[in-house]
Chains A and B, each alone.
Chain A
Amino acid sequence: MIRSSLKGQRLIALFLLGCLLLNYPLISLFAGAARIAGIPLLYAYVFFAWAVLIALMAVVVGRRSE
């Protein structure tokens, strides 16, 4: 069944990680005018962190339950 508790705990950890990555103060570190490969740093950072978060969620959910 869906209630494998380790998976649930990992997802909660990801939730907390996401809250941290995508909020003040971490996000303010990237809020300047710098650009990376022509893309504003803030824009690149938010999308990158977002994508990493989704990928981690996919990995956690996709793993065979142990």
Chain B
Amino acid sequence: MLTATVIVLASFLYVGLLFAIARYGDKRADAGRSIIANPYIYTLSLAVYCTSWTFYGSVGRAATSGIGFLPIYLGPTLMAALWWYVLVKIIRISKANRITSIADFIGSRYGKSQLLGGLVTIIAVLGIVPYIALQLKAISTSFSIILKYPEVVMPNQEGASLFLGDNTFYIAMLLAAFTILFGTRHLDATERHEGLVAAIAFESVVKLLAFIAVGLFVTFGMYNGFEDLFDRAHARPDLNGLLMLGGASGNYVAWASLTFVSMLAIMFLPRQFQVAVVENVDERHVAKALWLFPLYLLAINIFVLPIALGGLLHFPGGRVDADTFVLTLPMSEQQPLLALLAFIGGLSAATGMVIVETIALSTMVCNDLLMPALLRWKWLRLTERRDLSALLLGIRRGAIVVILVLGYLYFYLAGEAYALVSIGLISFTAVAQFAPAIIGGIYWKGGTRLGAVWGLSAGFTVWVYTLLLPSFAKSGWLPITFLAEGIFGSELLRPQNLFGLGGLDEITHCIFWSLLLNIGCYIGMSLARPPGAAEHSQATLFVDALKHTSAAGSQFWRGSASMHDLLELLGRFVGPDRAREALNAHALERRLAGLEDLPADAALVHHVESLLAGAIGSASARIMVASVVEEEPLRLDEVLAIIDEASQALAHSRELEHKSRALESATNELRAANRRLQELDRLKDDFIATVTHELRTPLTSIRAFSEILHDNPDLDTAQRAKFLNVVIRESERLTRLINQVLDLAKIESGNAEWRTTEIDLREVIEDAVTSLSQLFRENGVALSVDASGPLPPLVADRDRLLQVLLNLLSNAVKFCAERDGRVSVRARDTPSGLRVDVTDNGTGISAQDQALIFEKFRQSGDTLTQKPAGSGLGLAISRQIIEHFGGRLWVSSSAGNGATFSFTLPTEVGGLAQTAPGGELSRTG
């Protein structure tokens, strides 16, 4: 039933399905409802990493080296953990600069260098050719084998003639046709192919399912599970070695170097760059893909060793090539459908790789190799052609065909000598040469064009000499003596024992020498000469990509341009309508009405150049833009000045931010101060109202008694004397009040006079007690003084201090108990200064009054029912005096238990100096 017709029909149906999916994907993209804008499709498209190398080759590798096939998948897993930094940065840079290929990336980084872009393109094409040959070999072999179903016969390529007589050639041409139809139907400014990505994702599902289906069949259908399979392999001494990693250290070195090479390959293979960077819809997808993609790799590898063991057990004696076990095992078990599924799976693995890889390569060949060269040839007058898009498409299609023909030639010349994996590794080692230029380029500003050119050339030369040429020699296309003797018959130059280095497998050998020279030249030549202006500006853009906004870049251009020329230029490559559309969008972004309002400034030139770069690559775009605008090249010092300016601007903006924060806090302080002022204003009003009230009371009384005396001259003497006494007393009270108000005002305003001298506190207390002794006797209050301890001398105003003590003592007399009143004065030296307590045994002061009595005109008790016994200013003045000398005055009391007024005064001169500014001190006397 599995006739050639069925197989070919199934293959074409499968490819037709791919086209349908791609078509649907494109349609959805045009409608703005992308089907690929999610991390799962992104992950599946990354799985284009798994080609027929994985599908067929891993089994072949496992059949000879056991677990040695795995580093190729462990490397990408490790690299995925670094994607968070590396891949995201590359994506950000590529989006900002409209970079569409790895050649464009490297060329653009090193000053939009055409030389580097071209060099990278050549390395990529030559390096990838063996890899494409691998896919051709896989398809052609699997096709020949399945055609013979149900017999298992290895195809014999020996008799085939080149090109037309060979099936493989037709397969290559069919693949070229598919790729052209898939990837170059129209020219897109972004080089994104949504439909293609959808088809690739579908292919990834097909190959995974097909491989797992075969794995399940072999493990559980042909044998009784893993254990049975391993038991049988264990019993065979020749297979036993596959289950361990050999003891020789060479195995571990190969293991590590393959892991390393595949880490680089997952980043720098042109097709991986295409799907991971260029086709990336949203950089947030990377987050999920960085663990989903390794999971895919894990899944597709679980059954590799079981299939390999199953094949070795089933086909003893090496009769069947291990690379074909995935297909031949179902065939030998008479499973036509499974065999067909395996064939389709292998086909999908190979086609996915070939399509994406050749599209990526053809874009490079067109944008970075041919276009810059063609545009340079003045006699072609290309820069004046009206419409170049047809030419661009033609170049790309031609490039696709040429690349596949090269792949076919490599397959024809060298393919037979190698297993699939070995061919693939040759390509991996080639793309590893891009690593220093790219990784160095995005993290080290010092990397220069010269360094990159030298590094790439050196690495590539070593690769050609130690890996590519030997692969030709081994297949007989070059004399085999080349391997043993090297060129010029020199022992030291033997290609796979370079300078006598032996004991390594050829991949490790090549990767060591090529990367050694590559990195050495890159760093050495970068440091040898200072970079040019363009290199410097691009280096800054790339290395600081995560700091800049997308508008950066235009600052490095100076010149004059015309809007009309730029629009026409863009139209020639992307079509006039799309050009107008793009510039209109740009105008809206800059908040202008339309493209007519756009000034032909640096920002516009930069925007047009980046749009063009998307279509024709950055190097070609640079030439085209330069052909329609007048530009003044910036000198290196100017570029450095701009970079410096930018960093200064950054510093300025930080400073500004800082200042505005300071301003804000100052505003808050001012607001608080204003509130305080308003409060003080209110207090002042209250004070004046109170003072006026207090003055009016004695005045009213004086006036009333004076009027009585005036109106009644015939009053008797006793009465008259009594009234006059009232007038005198009230006048005295008035005088005292006014004196105190003036006193307080002076102290508060700082205009009071202070006669500061060294005084003895004990003396002052004695004076106060003496002058009030009459008052104590009159009121029958007992006074005790305790000032026996040592009291160091004080620096203060003696009269003021006396005033405070008199005030406290007279208050104590006033408020102490009516009968059996006692007042005690206690003075002592404490760590916080001299302390004086004046205690009475009166009614005490309630907690709420304690805070109030130090305010002006406040007295304890109810002033409405009790006669005020003072001016209400004494305590306020006392507190001001004590605080002036750096001390503290407070009260402690509880209602009913008397009150203690205490103050402390610092004895040290320092304490005084702090609170009494020199100006006031000097005014003494």
Contact = CB atoms under 8 A, between A and B. Distances in A.
Given A2-B287, A40-B230, A47-B298, A18 B243 contact: no
A43 B243 contact: yes
B501 interface: no
A39 B230 contact: yes
Contact of B259 (A3, A22, A38): A22
A50 B256 contact: no
B80 A33 contact: no
B256 A2 contact: no
Interface stretch (B141-149, B289-297, B398-406, B861-869): B289-297
Interface residues of B, number: 41
Contacts of A57: 80-81, 290-291, 294
B67 A42 contact: yes
Contact of B244 (A8, A14, A33, A47): A33
A14 to B, nearest CB: 5
B581 to A, nearest CB: 29
Contacts, number: 101
B78 A54 contact: no
A22 B283 contact: no
Interface in A17-66: 18-19, 22-25, 27-28, 31-33, 35, 37-40, 42-43, 46-47, 50-51, 53-55, 57-58, 61
Given A3-B88, A42-B67, A22 B74 contact: yes
A22 to B, nearest CB: 5
Residues of A contacting B: mostly: helix
A7 B88 CA distance: 14
A3 B546 contact: yes
Contact of B256 (A24, A33, A43, A46): A24
Given A18-B77, A40-B243, A57-B290, A47 B82 contact: no
B676 to A, nearest CB: 42
B256 A23 contact: yes
Contacts of B88: 2-3
Contacts of A12: 81-82, 85
B302 interface: yes
A28 to B, nearest CB: 7
Nearest 6 CB-CB pairs, A to B?
Answer: A38-B227, A24-B252, A15-B81, A57-B291, A40-B243, A31-B245
Interface of B: 67, 70, 74, 77-78, 80-82, 84-85, 88, 226-228, 230-231, 234, 240, 243-247, 249, 252, 255-256, 259, 283-284, 286-288, 290-291, 294-295, 298, 302, 305, 546
Given A3-B546, A50-B74, A53-B294, 8 more contacts: A2-B283, A27-B245, A33-B243, A37-B227, A50-B77, A50-B294, A61-B287, A61-B291
29 contacts: A2-B88, A3-B88, A8-B85, A11-B82, A11-B290, A14-B81, A15-B78, A18-B74, A18-B78, A18-B81, A23-B259, A24-B255, A32-B244, A37-B227, A38-B226, A38-B227, A38-B228, A38-B230, A39-B230, A42-B67, A42-B243, A46-B67, A46-B70, A50-B74, A57-B80, A57-B291, A58-B291, A61-B288, A61-B291
